[in-house]
């Protein structure tokens, strides 16, 4: 009986396996293969080599990688600090009002990210909504607030806000109230409870939220292009350029592969340390 | 017990909106005693313990700990602690880390902490190698002991318990009840235990306080409450009981208000016209045979018989349909068949008169 059930499981999973293999795995494998082709070729019928990876180091593409990872890290960290109090409120304090917040946050996702970013541009640009009013009221003229690294990080934090907030709220809601009360009863102060009880027990939510935010932010480029005006060039931008203007598929593939490996390793590391079943509400 | 009062409640009232959960409670808890607060669900006992521990503050009234007013002192600043119903162990920590938590908070150094944890493991009969075990891997009884050890590590002036045994199976509960009583004796600490189970209260406590609708209706030793309850509620709450409404007829004589209970020469302290409830426990009711007599006699029909292990319980239906419960030890088994006419008797010396306003 058990063997039949096992086969049934495999059979039910087969359609999605085929689709995933064709539309998800196959392109990734093609990219991985191109990464080892000589520069500027358009087929895979060449001897593999590491030229593209040499280019990555020789031509300074690693600065772009560092910008991508650094800004993603900054955005993730800022989002964590911003979202934690709100997520705590949603999970433990607000009750039904949490739903209102959820809806309000989700609705922003209905508008395309680029359009929302243009909204920021109009707000922050020289003579835009903010500075235009400032000039009209006080006569002060300030150069635009756009086109620098902090504003890019702000944009990233803005764009990926929901991806931090919801997993965090979910994680915090998993911390039992009585455990927190017990810690308080045993003499722990609020900060001590946060450190000893809340953070460790909400860790699955914190990890999932941070991972989502970091991965998305590390691969983002709209924020750098629109808000940053290419004050810095990020990795995703370099990859796009290599594939399009550069017409250098192998270089683009190599850059993509490097990014995928770094982020993939991070994801595997983070996910191996948390209990995903727990956060999905399933018992082990 | 002539010892000092360690905790005093003065006119404590707690309201939630228009609902009064605790109604003007005044209670003294003596140093070193094992007090159990018993009540059915909804009687306010959970609210009570939340106030005692400091997780909530009363709407009115004051709480004093060793003479010092602590009414509004939060839980983490009170030298008392509680064993939660859910135990509330820290699931991400080992047994050792759980026990050491209060010491860590107090800033005790790791070596001393560890030594104390080891002592407590031994006191609670947990193997020393449990120190490194995760609490989630422990069984229900073991967790119970870990929770106790953690509370004792805090070295509280009073240890509160919020029905921590209610989730365990019967046998384990019985074992732990006895261990808890033993632990109370060994540590000499004040234990305040909250439960809905009278059995638990009777086994463990020096003193029992019975709660109903936010008030303490009676407090005293288990014997006092069992034998001389102050109200029908307490009498019925404290196990099987037979209650008769009686009216005084002057000069100590009285009559049963509804059925023809034959009353002999014995008298009750009940003035003419006064109404009260006469209580007699099932173990004091006898089956009378020819030639025997008792202060009070009633006849009825044998209705049912239940074996309770060492005892046997009988139900006798009276003419008006009411049922009187009789209990006999196994060796005094009454041999009768269902439907037999029987005469029951009991003496007033074994009765208790309940007067309620």
Element (H, E) at B101: helix B95-106
Element (H, E) at A138: helix A129-138
Please name every residue paired with B353 in a beta bridge, in sequence order, or none if there are none: B278
pTM score, two decimals? 0.79
Look at B356 and A176; give whichever has higher pLDDT. A176
Q: What is the pLDDT of residue A280?
A: 54
Please report the DSSP string for B134-161 in residue order: BGGGS-HHHHHHHHHHHHHHT--SEEEE
Q: What is the rounded average pLDDT of the residues B83-107?
A: 92
Look at A216 and B331; give whichever has higher pLDDT. A216
Angle at B2 between CA B1 and CA B8, to 5 degrees: 90
Q: What is the pLDDT of residue A284?
A: 38
How confident is the model over B31-71, as pLDDT tens digits? 999 999 998 888 888 899 999 999 989 999 999 999 899 99
A186·B101 Cβ contact <8 A: yes
Closest CA to A159 of A111, A94, A229: A111
Q: Which residue has the tokens 């019975």?
A: B210
How confident is the model over A26-83, as pLDDT tens digits? 999 999 999 998 888 888 888 888 888 888 888 888 899 999 999 999 999 999 999 9
Helices (H) and strands (E) in chain B, counts: 8, 20
All residue ranges of chain A with pLDDT < 50 are: 282-284
Residue A95, judged by CB atoms within 10 A of its CB (0-12, 13-18, 19+), counts as exposed
B90·A184 Cβ contact <8 A: no
State how far the Cα of B262 lies from the Cα of A83, in Å rounded to an integer.
Answer: 79
Mutate to test the interface with B, among A182, A193, A278 (most CBs of B within 10 A): A182
HSE-CB of B331 using CA atoms within 13 angstroms = 0
**What residues of A are in the B interface, CB distance below 8 Å?**
176, 178-179, 181-189, 192, 196-197, 200-201
Residue B47 Cα distances to B12, B15, B42, B348, angstroms: 11, 10, 9, 40
Closest CA to B215 of B197, B199, B233: B233
Angle at B207 between CA B203 and CA B208, to 5 degrees: 80
Closest CA to A202 of A272, A101, A279: A279
State how far the Cα of B343 lies from the Cα of A43, in Å rounded to an integer.
Answer: 108
Please report the DSSP string for B219-233 in residue order: EE-HHHHHHS-SSHH
Is the predicted pLDDT of residue B3 greater than 80, yes or no? no
Residue A257 Cα distances to A35, A52, A223, A249, B350, angstroms: 7, 11, 22, 12, 91
* Nearest residue in chain B measured CA to CA from A201: B92
Which value does ipTM take for this structure? 0.79
Contacts of B56 in chain A (CB under 8 A): none
Residue B118 Cα distances to B115, B126, B139, B146, B181, angstroms: 5, 9, 19, 12, 21
Q: What is the pLDDT of residue B251?
A: 63
Residue B68, judged by CB atoms within 10 A of its CB (0-12, 13-18, 19+), counts as exposed
Q: What is the rounded average pLDDT of the residues B227-250?
A: 84
Q: Which residue has the tokens 């000039």?
A: A135
How confident is the model over B173-229, as pLDDT tens digits? 888 899 899 999 999 999 999 998 888 888 889 999 999 989 999 999 988 888 888
B86·A188 Cβ contact <8 A: no
Share of chain B above pLDDT 70, in %: 94
Contacts of A183 in chain B (CB under 8 A): 90, 101
Could you tell me the two tokens for B344?
A: 């029951």
State how far the Cα of B318 lies from the Cα of B340, in Å rounded to an integer.
Answer: 12
B154·A187 Cβ contact <8 A: yes
- Compute CA B149 distance to the chain's CA centroid, rounded to the nearest angstrom: 24
Element (H, E) at B177: helix B170-187
Is the predicted pLDDT of residue B150 greater than 60, yes or no? yes
Contacts of B108 in chain A (CB under 8 A): none
HSE-CB of B92 using CA atoms within 13 angstroms = 18
């Amino acid at each position: 009986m058990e063997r039949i059930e096992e086969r049934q499981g495999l059979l039910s999973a087969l359609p999605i396996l085929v689709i995933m293999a064709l539309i998800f795995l196959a392109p990734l494998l093609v990219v991985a293969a191109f990464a080892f082709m000589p520069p500027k070729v358009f087929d895979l019928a060449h001897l593999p080599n590491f030229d593209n990876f040499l280019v990555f180091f020789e031509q300074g593409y690693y600065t772009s990688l560092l910008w991508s990872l650094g800004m993603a890290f900054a955005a993730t960290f800022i989002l964590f600090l911003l979202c934690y109090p709100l997520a705590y409120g949603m999970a433990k304090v607000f009750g039904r009002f949490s739903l209102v917040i959820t809806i309000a946050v989700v609705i922003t996702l209905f508008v395309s990210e680029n359009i929302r970013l243009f909204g920021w541009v109009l707000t922050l640009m020289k003579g835009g909504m903010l500075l235009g009013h400032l000039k009209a009221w006080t006569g002060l003229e300030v150069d635009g607030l756009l086109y620098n690294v902090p504003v890019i990080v702000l944009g990233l934090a803005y764009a990926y806000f929901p991806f931090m907030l919801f997993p965090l709220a979910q994680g915090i809601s998993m911390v039992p109230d009585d455990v927190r009360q017990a810690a308080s009863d045993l003499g722990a102060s609020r900060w001590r409870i946060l450190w000893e009880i809340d953070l460790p027990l909400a860790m699955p939510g914190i990890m999932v939220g941070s991972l989502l935010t970091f991965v998305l932010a590390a691969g983002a480029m709209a924020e750098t292009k629109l808000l940053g005006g290419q004050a810095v060039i990020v990795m995703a931008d370099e990859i796009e350029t290599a594939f399009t203007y550069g017409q250098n598929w192998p270089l683009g593939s190599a850059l993509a592969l490097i990014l995928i490996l770094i982020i993939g390793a991070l994801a595997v590391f983070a996910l191996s340390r948390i209990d995903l079943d727990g956060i999905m509400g399933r018992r082990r | 017990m002539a010892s000092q009062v360690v905790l005093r409640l003065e006119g404590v009232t707690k309201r939630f909106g228009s609902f009064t959960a605790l109604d003007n409670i005044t209670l003294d808890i003596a140093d070193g005693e094992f007090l159990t607060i018993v009540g059915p669900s909804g009687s306010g006992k959970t609210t009570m313990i939340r106030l005692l521990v400091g997780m909530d503050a009363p709407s009115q009234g004051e709480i004093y700990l060793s003479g010092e007013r602590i009414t509004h002192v939060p839980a983490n600043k009170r030298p008392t602690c509680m064993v939660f119903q859910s135990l509330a162990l820290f699931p991400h920590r080992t047994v050792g880390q759980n026990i050491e938590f209060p010491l860590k908070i107090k800033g005790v150094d790791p070596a001393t902490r560890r030594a104390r944890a080891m002592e407590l493991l031994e006191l609670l009969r947990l193997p020393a190698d449990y120190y490194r075990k995760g609490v989630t891997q422990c069984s229900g009884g073991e967790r119970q002991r870990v929770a106790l050890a953690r509370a004792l590590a805090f070295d509280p002036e009073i240890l509160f318990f919020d029905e921590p045994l209610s989730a365990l199976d019967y046998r384990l509960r019985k074992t732990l009840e006895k261990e808890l009583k033993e632990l109370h004796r060994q540590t000499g600490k004040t234990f305040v235990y909250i439960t809905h189970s009278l059995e638990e209260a009777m086994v463990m406590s020096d003193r029992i306080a019975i709660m109903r609708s936010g008030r303490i209706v009676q407090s005293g030793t288990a014997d006092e409450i069992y034998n001389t309850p102050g109200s029908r509620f307490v009498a019925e709450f404290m196990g099987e009981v037979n209650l008769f409404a009686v009216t005084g007829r002057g000069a100590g004589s009285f009559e049963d208000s509804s059925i023809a209970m034959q009353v002999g020469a014995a008298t009750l302290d009940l003035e003419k016209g006064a109404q009260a409830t006469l209580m007699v426990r099932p173990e004091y009711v006898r089956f009378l045979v020819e030639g025997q007599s008792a202060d009070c006699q009633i006849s009825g029909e044998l209705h049912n018989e239940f074996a309770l292990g060492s005892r046997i319980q009988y139900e006798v239906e009276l003419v008006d349909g009411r049922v009187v419960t009789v209990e006999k030890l196994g060796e005094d088994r009454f041999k009768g068949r269902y439907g037999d006419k029987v005469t029951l008797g009991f003496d007033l010396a074994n009765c208790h008169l309940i007067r309620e306003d």
